[in-house]
Amino acid sequence: MIVLAVVALAGLLLGPRLRLPSPAMMGPMLVSGVVTATGLASGFAPSGILRTLLFTMIGLDVGLRFTRRTLGDLRRILPAALACTLAISAGCAALAWLLSVLTHIPFGDTYLATTPGGINAVLATATSAHANLPLISSVQSLRLFEMAFLAPILIRLTTARAVRSGRRGSPSR
């Protein structure tokens, strides 16, 4: 638990200094990755009451975001959201099946590793399913890093193109 606290605090202090996107999240993840990769610490996943508390906080964070307005918005976009969710889930299932066949890793583990969604929900599911947490958390963290670092670059590129073509900020008539 002490290692977890030190890594989190170091990441919170380092994230803004490195000008990371989402520094409060990416800083601790980066420090955690360095600590694990260098062998300074291994297997410092929370357990016992701390794990229960963390998963309770995750559940509350997700559940308390639903308001009447959110549910109304959800009802309006539900058909399109459901179709997109099914398509992405099918694509991830196909990728997971291929990885499972090629690597001989159980399909459940490869699916949880490749599935889209919040890393917190995926890890909670993996924990309750007694799945391969190191594999799943590594792939999910890599996906999160990739998106957190690539999204700003893609936004800048898209915005730069829009500015060059004169589309940005032009009043609609």
Rounded to the nearest 10°, the torsion over CA 144, 147, 153, 158 is -160
pLDDT tens digit at each of 173 positions of the chain = 687 788 889 989 998 999 887 788 788 888 888 887 788 877 666 778 887 887 788 778 777 878 888 888 888 899 998 999 999 999 999 999 999 999 999 999 999 999 987 787 888 889 889 999 888 988 888 888 888 778 878 888 888 777 777 665 555 54
| 121 within 8 A of 59, measured Cβ to Cβ | no
Separation CA 164–CA 162 (nearest Å): 6
CA-to-CA separations, 169 to 151, 154, 158, 165, in angstroms, rounded: 21, 19, 14, 11
Separation CA 52–CA 60 (nearest Å): 12
Separation CA 152–CA 144 (nearest Å): 13
- Lookup: tokens for 98: 């291929």
